[in-house]
Structure 1
């Protein structure tokens, strides 16, 4: 007897042997994967004895995707700051909007992002840093109710700068170090480990906004609590200039010096790094969250992912936020990750589709420190599974399911999503909350937010608007 029985076409297991099973099936009971194998073998035990049977003969069944860099508060900010590099992008548009949020608007933004992620195959994610004005508790509780799996970082800071620029953070986002640190502990005590799907992390701001003392305090406490830390690092050249001038260290050297490397740390972007820094990342087991769309759009540069992988760095994938990517679709992000390395290195074999799929699944699970639970379809693991419809022109003929997923698919091809053994989306319909209400709330909230912040919502196009 199984709760859910998925009768597949192709099963991409991501198990230790990386088996791809043709005409396969997966049985799920009490949230756990109980059987994986050939359909004709498993049918005898599960076809007529399961509560829910999903016929997926024309589909690819695979582990759910894990997005390791998400800004929930930026869902309402799509296209608010096109054509700007990072620091003006932050100062002139993104921070003023985020600094004007009311809790109900931040919640509407978070709902919109979670909706998009579930509909595009993400079953788990890492939020990079919420602040008090967003009403964090309400956001965490919605995330839990949605059914998705999440590590949620709370921003911690005690300075107001970014790199060599002092006092540039919008006043609406400024929080005292003690306040932000203690609130992280409160959230951790209240929510960490909730139903095995919610974890609370530390999210220190970028160097320039956090003192050395506070970074070290965060590092020590995270290790004591056995929780994670995530931070933007070496995203732009200004980050290298700052740590080199002020501390005499390159960005990864600086992070290592203050204790922010190791298996519980996810460093985001990590574009401007040296060979020695890559060696440190590999030796310490630190995760790099690669966000190619954001790096390309903001002209930040191209991360040295091919070299990182060759040095056994755990590289995972992230979409970043609405204004730097315009989408939270991790399937589309896989293609950008696969194409950027050949362009950067002028080597067509700089990265393989198999490696990119690992980045979006197993490596993401390892980044969140839950690879013992999810990231692959294996007996005994929790059932985070998505079903991708390949019966479409752009995925035919299905000569290579891995290549097609990375180079040809998009999130809209995902038709079913199972998270922690619960059917959360079926036939592209969300089952845990009302999609239409979320979109309507987001539209109203965006209007109010932009008006209050004094930022025009008119499209920034070079063509006449009539």
Structure 2
């Protein structure tokens, strides 16, 4: 049953462990967090805070068998790919796009794209994501309806609108599905329209530019976007150097390596999140650090598509703000950022041959405070500190795979799953309680998802039957 919940004035979370992610990186055993009017007002030992808050709060959450963390920040999400899980397995990136993903996305009707967005948000909220960065919506999806749903769902979102004026990918020209093609003026101007309509809405919705990958955008349009983003004080996100073909394109056509190319057209800086960034050199990593450009690391997607492994431990060592993203349904097959933390933690030792290449603490930073910094909202969220907005997640650790609890950070990264999330608070509002979404009807979304996916697959002529070597009877 759907339970309608309005903003709650006072919430008191009586924790077991509180992992604050504050500047001192305090981890508080037997801790508690008090929230008033959407703002964190106290963080400390449970015994010290109980007398003031336990009997005087509107909602008291007993989390003594849990771990309380800041809301997770997913810095690379494709809302329109929620219905495409298992539709593009066993392929490399360009045929994956050309033969499967783009034909499906190019056949969406707005009502199907909205169902896809709802499905993705349901999965993210129930796995502890309170803030995310959408990489690029197009007009055929019905962007306004999606943004309005995001606001009503209670989640925070930076929503990038795709901008393009070419039809290629890297050195392959005219391969973008016709259903996704939009003129440069149309896509650029619609981003500006969305910005003036929604940007800053309740400090939970922001509108970004989402240029397509090099090969689909002219140099002039890249520069126009970067200038406008700086003028509007908003962000830009773009896939870069995901596969070797990306390097081939920028070097052959422009004589520049991918990060050099991005810098040349204005796509570096504190308001830019570059996604994947796998095939880069030491000099390019230094350029990312120097310009304070953030990187979204998506290890499951890179592994599944055999794209390669990003040099995250080296980026962190050189001072790059590295964040964590799940990517989309057909490249990851889930939107669970907690599971993604484990993949990120395991990949760097494999790539470097060094078991100390990355620590669990660094991975948790990537999924929280680093992500907030990349979205330019670390003054609001990303840590549990007095004065910040109350984005909190309670993870239930009273489970066999999370016992004995002797290191909550290690367990979060290496042992936990999104399904261990029990309660989620965004902006002081309880949006998930005891694993039930309180802001929209999850059951209705699940029912509509199957129907919408079936209709989409039939219309696109893709994913009509499972890609399964075994027989179905």
Q: In the alignment, what sits opposite 1:310?
A: 317
**Match of 1:113?**
120
Whether 1:55 and 2:62 are equivalent positions in the alignment is yes
The 5-angstrom pairing of residues 36-435 of structure 1 reads 36-435=43-442
Aligned residues: 466
Contact 1:63 1:361 in 2 (8 A): yes
Aligned to 2:4: none
The answer on 1:443 being equivalent to 2:450 is yes
C-alpha deviation, 1:126, in angstroms = 0.1
Distance in 1 (alpha carbons) for counterparts of 2:131 and 2:69: 14
Mapped partners of 1:420, 1:135: distance in 2: 26
> In structure 2, what is the Cα distance between the partners aligned to 1:223 and 1:292?
30
Match of 1:460 in 2: 467
Give the deviation of 1:462 after TM superposition: 1.2
Shift of 1:42: 0.4
Give the superposition deviation at 1:2. 6.2
5+ residue gaps, structure 2: 1-7
Say whether the 8 Å CA contact 2:9–2:38 is kept in structure 1.
no
Report the Cα distance in structure 2 between the residues aligned to 1:72 and 1:462, rounded to whole angstroms.
29
Q: Given that residues 9 and 58 in structure 2 are in contact (C-alpha distance below 8 angstroms), is that contact kept between their aligned partners in structure 1?
A: yes
Deviations 1:361-384 (A, max 9, x none): 000000110000000000000000
**TM-superposed deviation, 1:342:** 0.1
Per the TM alignment, residue 184 of structure 1 is displaced from its structure 2 partner at its CA by 0.0
Q: Secondary structure at the match of 1:21?
A: strand
CA offsets 1:374-405 (integer angstroms, 9 cap, x no match): 00000000000000000001000011000000
Detail structure 1 runs of 4+ shifted over 2 Å in the superposition: none
CA contact (8 A) 2:199 2:206 kept: yes
Contact 1:120–1:411 at 8 Å: present in 2 too?
yes
TM-score (norm 1): 0.99
Cα RMSD of the aligned pairs, angstroms, is 0.8
In 2, Cα distance between equivalents of 1:2 and 1:191 = 25
Aligned to 1:263, the other structure's residue is in SS state coil
Contact 2:71/2:391 (CA < 8 Å) preserved in 1? Answer: yes
* Cα drift, residue 456 of structure 1: 3.5
Partner of 2:3: none
Q: Deviations over 1:273-330 (max 9, x none)?
A: 0000000000100000000000000000000001000011000000000000000000
Of residues 438-447 and 212-221 in structure 1, the stretch that sits farther from structure 2 once superposed is 438-447
Q: Contact between 2:300 and 2:343, CA under 8 Å: does it hold in 1?
A: yes
1:95 and 1:197 mapped to 2: Cα distance?
29
Secondary structure of the residue aligned to 2:419 is helix
Q: What is the SS of the residue equivalent to 1:50?
A: coil
Confirm or deny: 8 A CA contact 1:2 1:49 kept in the other structure: no
**Contact kept in structure 2, 1:193 and 1:199, CA below 8 Å:** yes
Output the CA distance in 2 between the equivalents of 1:251 and 1:463.
42
Counterpart for residue 28 of structure 2: 21
Contact (CA 8 Å) 1:290, 1:303: kept in 2 or not?
yes
For 2:436 and 2:449, the matched residues in 1 are separated by 18
- Distance in 1 separating the partners of 2:90 and 2:20: 40
